[in-house]
Amino acid sequence: MRILVTGGAGYIGSVVTRCLVEEGHDVVVLDDLSTGHREAVDSRAELVVGDITRPQRVLGGVDAVVHLAARSQVAESVAYPERYWHGNITATMALLEAMREAGVKKMVFSSTAAVYGKPRGRVITEEHPTAPINPYGASKLAIDHMLAASAAAHGLGAVSLRYFNAAGALAELGERHEPETHLIPNLLEAAFTGATAKVFGTDYPTDDGTAVRDYIHVADLAQAHLRALESIEPSRHEVFNLGTGRGHSVGEVLLAVQHGTGQEVEVEHHPRRAGDPAVLVASPEKARRLLGWLPERGLEEMIADAAAARNMQRGAPAAAA
């Protein structure tokens, strides 16, 4: 297929793009490079620098859209919710309208576990009530509803993939956010440079008081997008949780980074961030059953791959971890 990947110069988008190209797809990336990196886009894909609210020039001949472009910082969404209404909801409305005009009727959408809000059980299935507690999650849930309505009204075939916590790297394609807010790259930076890492919240109702998250390797995440593309049916919107079914606390991740790098990490404790729930763990059962997908890589491999990518990006030996 010819596939448009919005946000394909970003962390997850660049890995998805590479995996799509490896599968033999013809890929065009649309990215404004506000947070993405030109050099992260696979050379076999076509890169168009532009705004996703005006995608008409790249939709010709496209069979499907993988939509990853978005604002994605929880704390920023709490402080500046209007950025998320515009950058996520309004932008996606424009993209969907352009797709309808161009006759493109397949979409895989990058959604999030943040749509669930505070979990009511230890493991979250797709049937869990959606009650986001921050504007980021609310904006993604609005798009999920938008896709369901477009499927019913216009025959769109769509899949929403609700990510839990992406981590790791594929070769040199690791995280390079500015500023970096994700736990593993910040702990690795502290381990390799001697800087102090920030830990937000030590009073959660968890075993060690730190937040628990379901970390999933970005390469496993990318494979789920490929399986989702194959599963799309006209006039149908499906939702899948993408996680491992196992949670790790911030404290556990800290110990794993120290073990993997052989370095002590100094941490600085801060209050909880607004909008962060205590525990988020996915059930991957529906994705296993309907997509034939299960994650293959564990936390140790995520840390090792992230460390290797970090060092490659900085010209240091990749084997430092």
* Helix H or strand E encompassing 3: strand 2-6
State the pairing for strand pair 248-249/212-213.
Answer: antiparallel
Q: Give CA torsion, residues 69, 73, 77, 82, to 10 deg.
A: -30
| E strands, 68-183, in order | 106-112, 157-163, 165-167
SS3 19: helix
Q: Is 136 a catalytic residue?
A: yes
CA distance 280 to 118: 8
Question: Which residue of the set 11, 136, 163, 215 is catalytic?
Answer: 136
Alpha helices (runs of H) in 206-279, residue ranges in sequence order: 218-231, 250-261
Q: Give CA torsion, residues 28, 6, 184, 40, to 10 deg.
A: 30
Q: Which residues are marked as active site? A: 136
